[in-house]
Structure 1
């Protein structure tokens, strides 16, 4: 995430809730704990998973207020709850549902259908038109293909994603996974599917061939993860949890999931426990994230291969479900960019509008590009036959603003492929800038490596080695006594030798003799003092010079125990000295690195000056 304020026309987007009298109340949502959005919306209707065996309800968006106790239901599933629903993007009156019975049912919303204005004594439930049978266990999620008519995807507890042809009610492709699928999504032109599963893997599949294109490690938390494509790009966004149950947001390259989340890792959101539900708006490049169990809705902008937090809609009303209507149903005159619906814990649905504040009442073409028109780009036969398009058929938002009944249509543009790792070829201006910079700085090819120490740093090492305290310690080493009463005084960090009872001189070294047997002499170890040397051809190396203790014949034999005790103390002093030298050398290396960073900053300033010229 960017840490600095950046210019954006969506910086001041805000969420505006609807008045209470315009909400949908007295609803009976499902009590199932399965992780789905619970509600769906297509601009004309809202689908709600109901608290009943095998049933859900459909609410027309204009029938607001308190619902009666008895309402028409969509019943057809046997032996369990409805887990998910999905509206057909190319037929506003067709909807499919899935449930715990392992079936997918197809429904047609009757004409002049009403949810509120019904006779409570003569309520007729809606019956399904057909079913899709193929999964062996519960079917948890459904999604229609965004470009091809009659193409549906479903995920099940049998660890598979199936691709269906609704015109023939047959399964065309099965994408088999190793664990439970927690979320999946079609890409912009419907040729790929990205999935997340309970084994913490993210996978991208070719829909028509069933080939696994790429996979990699996703969020490491135990709770479920969600996934969505970022419009007409090769980027994916996921929400999930880390090992410590912190909620996260991740950005991925769909061509290579294995290299991990882009931008240096995951974006930390908060420590709440509810699943984050992502929704991406292609027209504004904004990603909306609604958390289950909390009332906040965060919105990010996708730009420059990054997700930038724009703001947050705060609310005290905790949400169980969240749904977003198609873009062509927003209120353009009020500069509404997203129309959403929140399922609250008080069994009501609250409409929520996200608005870009503008003073002008004219059509804002910069925030309303062409949007999906709800028209299929191909049939199911063409799709499974291999036909590929750039994306959905688009309609003019200006025509909708002007009230045109049949807005003009256009085709989607080719996908935007982001490849930040690829090195772009240098332009003529960049080559010229590099040549100018070379002339100004008089750069020449450097064949040898940069020295570890500069001349100033070398002088600092030499000065340290010639300090009085260091010389004193080295001289003490040279003048070690073999007297049995030798002792060390640590108060002033100096070595003080006491005179021996035998009157041995300080300049005498010690030697251990054994009777009637030749034995090697025990000499004082060599004290190594770092010395820095540099050469022109190579990086400087730290060499050592030795200080040997001169040998002389002792006037009397030393006691081995006392000599060993004094030697041990002297060696400890030497070790402390070496550690001090190593510490100072490390500081010099860090100082050298700091100078390199300053040089890079100067080079960056030179680049800026050259760009201005």
Structure 2
């Protein structure tokens, strides 16, 4: 019995009945032998059967109250009793009705309600001379309508107002139909005492079947949210009212059977998938039972029972219309013989100043991302969830009401949405083709990668330059060995025949000194002062303003000295000054004298003097 002590957030939910002034009073409701609940509610309106014939409906605002007159505007729906009515989950002003006149009609309720009586529907469908038993909207696909008749289940697409599916495999009257919350499957209860699970998009629509309640009296079925379980109400062979839970994984064997009492009232199951709260209201009963559905034994936990007036019909109000700042977790609209009573189920809390997040999980929203055509083609897009927290809603704790206008406007909006979706898909397809062709956007390259690439490129250019120098040097050496004279420049080198001999002599002397000292480690000689006579710096400074020939002559003359003084050391301006200056000097020499020997230009000793 450990389950008795299990903590439950909703086990103490208490029904609160308002004062008579807060109820809708002095209405005229007859007794109808139908399988429907005789009342339906959206976040904006409530609709219920009116007068004894039941062919007309009264449509009032959800928060309306007070006495009503016999002369108030009505919805003159059918020529015979309205057997079932239901509001669209995505349009609070779109109402579907079915009748004994074998017609299904869709109505648009104006934003301000019925200011005058209405008798012209948005569209009408026929069930082929069969009385309509149930009617409703698909839970996830927009503008997809269903209806059941004797042995027949039919789907209509409201966007094109055509029949999309029909199945005639039920041998008897279909008493109830309920969809799984994700809209993939539905379950039916039939007068032949069988439950059937259907997939309208499959080649064989009926996928599962099992025997249900053993009495031929009315039976109802409801799918338990997104679970793989269904719950049915009916009578056993001894005419006791019972509740049965079945799991699709073992559909033929009941998971739980609960015997209630021997009353004759037909149980109307009202289930909230967000809180797993189940309400059982029997036609003609004065009590409404509350149970909590669990996935473990005992599966059904009884809560507080409400006793009041005799019930003609009942329905749940959408979660978007609840008073969340008062702890209201569900609201039942109870239809009696002369009134409509809103019964609020409130979870007791110490204070209601703050929003209690634990009581209100995210619920299905009011926008569908899937059309009827898409669902029929195999799509299974879920309805986006919304939060009931007033801080996350545009209008705070005000009920979220969705009114989208007449049906033709709804259809046009859906068509525009489909058109925009196709255009966006075409654009994305074009982008994909461009990417496949190689037309892509420029990629971002970090600055470190750019610097590394520049360094590698500089190193490559330097290596190519050295390789070029080596090739030039090798070519000159081959010519020297063959005894061919070097070609002289026409303008600059006429009369300067001794230049090459002097440079070769100095180069050979530098090479000999370098070879002698290759095995020794000696400190470098101190640099000469700038005031010392006959220094290279003085000679160079003396030639400032002269021609290039004068500068070259002075440098060559200085190289004939036995011990050539070193140039004055200057401070380095950058870390790469030595290498860059040497490369610049070598490049300038090659430009001026392309046929000079490479050994004369880049010998070690000469390179040291240049730096």
Stretches of structure 1 that go unaligned for 5 or more consecutive residues are 410-613
* Structure of larger gyration radius: 2
Aligned 8 A contact 2:319 2:330 in 1:
yes
Give the structure 2 partner of residue 57 of structure 1: 58
**2:335 is aligned with 1:343:** yes
Corresponding residue of 2:89: 89
Aligned in 2, Cα 1:14/1:405: closer, same or farther, shift over 3 Å? closer
Contact 2:323 2:397 in 1 (8 A): no
Task: Determine whether 1:386 maps to 2:378.
Answer: yes
Superposition pairs of residues 445-456 of structure 1, within 5 angstroms: none
1:299 positional shift: 1.8
Cross-structure match for 2:344: 353
Q: Aligned residue for 1:304? A: 295
Q: Which residue of 2 aligns with 1:397?
A: 388
1:185-264 equivalence runs, <5 A: 185-209=178-202, 211-258=205-252, 260-263=253-256
Q: Helix, strand or coil: the match of 2:304? A: strand
Give distance in 1, aligned partners of 2:171 and 2:243.
Answer: 24
Equivalent position to 1:313, from 305, 318, 329: 305
Is contact 1:279-1:289 (8 Å) kept? yes
Q: Does 1:295 align with 2:274?
A: no
- Check conservation: 2:199, 2:207, Cα contact below 8 A: yes
Task: Answer whether contact 2:229 2:247 (CA < 8 A) is retained.
Answer: yes
State the distance in 2 between where 1:15 and 1:85 align: 26
Looking at structure 2, the residues matched to 67 and 91 of structure 1 have their Cα atoms a distance apart, in angstroms, of: 26
Larger displacement relative to structure 2 (28-37 or 67-76): 28-37
**Deviation string, structure 1 residues 175-220 (Cα, Å, up to 9, x no partner):** 3211111111010111111000111000000022251110000011
Counterpart of 2:181 in 1: which secondary structure?
Answer: coil
CA distance in 1, matches of 2:292, 2:232: 14
**What's the C-alpha RMSD, in Å, of the aligned pairs?**
2.2
The SS at the match of 1:224 is: coil
Q: How far has the Cα of 1:288 moved from its partner?
A: 1.5
* Equivalent residues of 1:159, 1:179 under 8 A apart: yes
Q: Note if contact 1:160-1:174 (Cα within 8 Å) is conserved in structure 2.
A: yes
1:162 and 2:163 aligned: no
SS in 2 for 1:208: coil
> In the alignment, is the contact (CA less than 8 A) between 2:49 and 2:55 conserved in 1?
no
> 1:406, 1:293 → 2: CA distance?
35
**3-state SS of paired residue (2:320):** helix
Scaled by the length of structure 1, the TM-score of the pair is: 0.61
CA shift for structure 1 position 134: 3.5
State whether residues 105 and 125 of structure 2, in contact with CA within 8 Å, keep that contact through their aligned partners in structure 1: yes
Greater helix fraction, Structure 1 or Structure 2: 2
Number of equivalences: 394
Number of the residue aligned with 1:74:
75
Q: Could you tell me how far apart the structure 2 residues matched to 1:377 and 1:243 are?
A: 45
CA contact (8 A) 2:325 2:397 kept: no
CA distance in 2, matches of 1:360, 1:82: 44
Q: Distance in 2 between matches of 1:357 and 1:271?
A: 33
Helix, strand or coil: the match of 1:12?
A: coil
Q: Flag the 1:124–1:205 CA change in 2: closer, same or farther, 3 A.
A: closer
Q: Distance in 1 between matches of 2:212 and 2:99?
A: 27
C-alpha distance 93-316 of structure 1, shift in aligned 2 (>3 A): closer
